[in-house]
């Protein structure tokens, strides 16, 4: 019996967890990554690196590769690939499942200021602020404007072209709240700037709350209105089994 082909768009820890769970299922798995990280984490299945060349090209690839289900488990701020996935799924007539981790919500002790973009967050900083940015790659060009503030930017891999008022820290998550608090204190940080990514990286927000620091939190882009959305890996796995009519013991049901 031919196994159904599942294309998983990854780049998140949830995508990695889902890929490992799918490795135990009767599916042919292709994992697609943008190819921007030098040393990506290991994934089971066939790994495909780099963009497809837009929605129509992704649709063509799915038709040619007889993809039975497209799963978009990319980061909530990866709006380009998610829009392409939605459009390609419609064009190719392929069902789409979107794994959308819930956004963080403010609790007691949080001093959050919602902003629509990184540009808005940087503009909102008061003169002489010392801000810690966990916004990663893609931030460099936005940071030029405010040479009157000191910015500490954390990313997994080095970023080129940073202006002199930006210091860089290279580190790979996860980070505990105690580690985040130590870092904020060691650099005399006055403001935290974070995307509302959701998921496991909340420790920095808890550390900021513990130190009574204001947080400029960047709101998520609107998700595409296509496919079915699920909040976590376990629900995604159950939905995949249902959509592909998998008999998880012996392969696809006839
Ligand atoms: P993006 O702006 O949404 O996508 C830009 C282009 O990169 C897409 O049009 C597509 O190229 C290609 N691409 C992105 N993700 C891809 C994937 N999984 N497989 C194949 N091609 C992909 O993406 P981004 O914000 O730069 O994020 C890139 C990757 O990093 C994503 O996979 C995302 O899950 C991960 N990530 C992003 C963030 C973030 O804050 N944005 C944070 C953590 C991880 P084509 O149009 O040529 O197909």
pLDDT for residue 105 is more than 90: yes
Q: Compute the distance from residue 37 Cα to the ligand 1 centre, in Å.
A: 11
Percent of the chain with pLDDT strictly greater than 70: 96
- Which of 70, 75, 81, 224 for a ligand 1 pocket mutation test, highest count of atoms within 8 Å of Cβ? 81
pTM of the predicted protein model: 0.94
pLDDT of residue 136: 77
In whole angstroms, how far apart are CA 241 and each of 5, 97, 113, 248? 13, 12, 40, 7
Q: Tell me, rounded to whole angstroms, the distance of Cα 153 from its chain centroid.
A: 17
Q: Which ligand 1 atom lies nearest to the CA of residue 77?
A: 41
In whole angstroms, how far apart are CA 69 and each of 28, 29, 32, 59, 95? 11, 10, 13, 12, 5
Mean pLDDT in residue range 44-54: 97
135-174 pLDDT, tens digit per residue, is 976 667 788 888 899 999 998 888 888 888 899 999 989 9
Q: Which ligand 1 atom lies nearest to the CA of residue 11?
A: 34
Q: Compute the distance from residue 127 Cα to the ligand 1 centre, in Å.
A: 33
For the chain, the distance separating the N- and C-terminal CA atoms, rounded to the nearest angstrom, is 9
Q: Compute the distance from residue 11 Cα to the ligand 1 centre, in Å.
A: 8
Is residue 240 packed enough to be buried (19+ CB in 10 Å), middle (13-18) or exposed (0-12)?
A: buried
Give buried/exposed letters for 37-74 (b at 16+ CB in 10 A, else e).
eeebeebebebbeeebeebeebbbbbeeeebbbbbbbb
pLDDT for residue 250 is more than 60: no
Q: Compute the distance from residue 30 Cα to the ligand 1 centre, in Å.
A: 16
């Amino acid at each position: 019996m031919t196994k159904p082909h599942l294309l998983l768009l990854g780049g998140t820890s949830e995508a990695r967890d889902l890929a490992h769970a799918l490795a135990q299922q009767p599916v042919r798995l292709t994992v697609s990554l943008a190819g921007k990280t030098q040393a990506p984490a290991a994934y089971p299945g066939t790994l495909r690196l780099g963009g497809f060349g837009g929605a129509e090209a992704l649709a063509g690839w799915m038709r040619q590769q007889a993809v039975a289900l497209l799963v978009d488990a990319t980061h909530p701020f990866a709006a380009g690939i998610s829009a392409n996935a939605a459009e390609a799924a419609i064009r190719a007539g392929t069902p789409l499942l979107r794994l959308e981790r819930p956004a963080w919500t403010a609790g007691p002790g949080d001093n959050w200021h919602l902003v629509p973009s990184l540009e808005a967050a940087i503009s909102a900083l008061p003169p002489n602020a010392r801000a810690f940015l966990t916004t990663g790659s893609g931030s460099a060009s936005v940071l030029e404007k405010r040479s009157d503030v000191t910015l500490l930017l954390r990313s997994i891999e080095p970023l080129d072209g940073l202006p002199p008022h930006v210091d860089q820290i290279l580190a790979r998550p996860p980070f505990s709240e105690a580690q985040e608090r130590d870092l904020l204190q060691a650099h005399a940080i006055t403001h935290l700037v974070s995307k509302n990514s959701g998921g496991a990286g909340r420790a920095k927000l808890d550390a900021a709350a513990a130190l009574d620091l204001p947080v400029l939190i960047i709101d998520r882009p609107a998700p595409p209105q296509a496919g079915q959305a699920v909040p976590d890996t376990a629900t995604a796995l159950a939905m995949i089994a249902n959509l592909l009519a998998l008999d998880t013991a012996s392969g696809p049901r006839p």
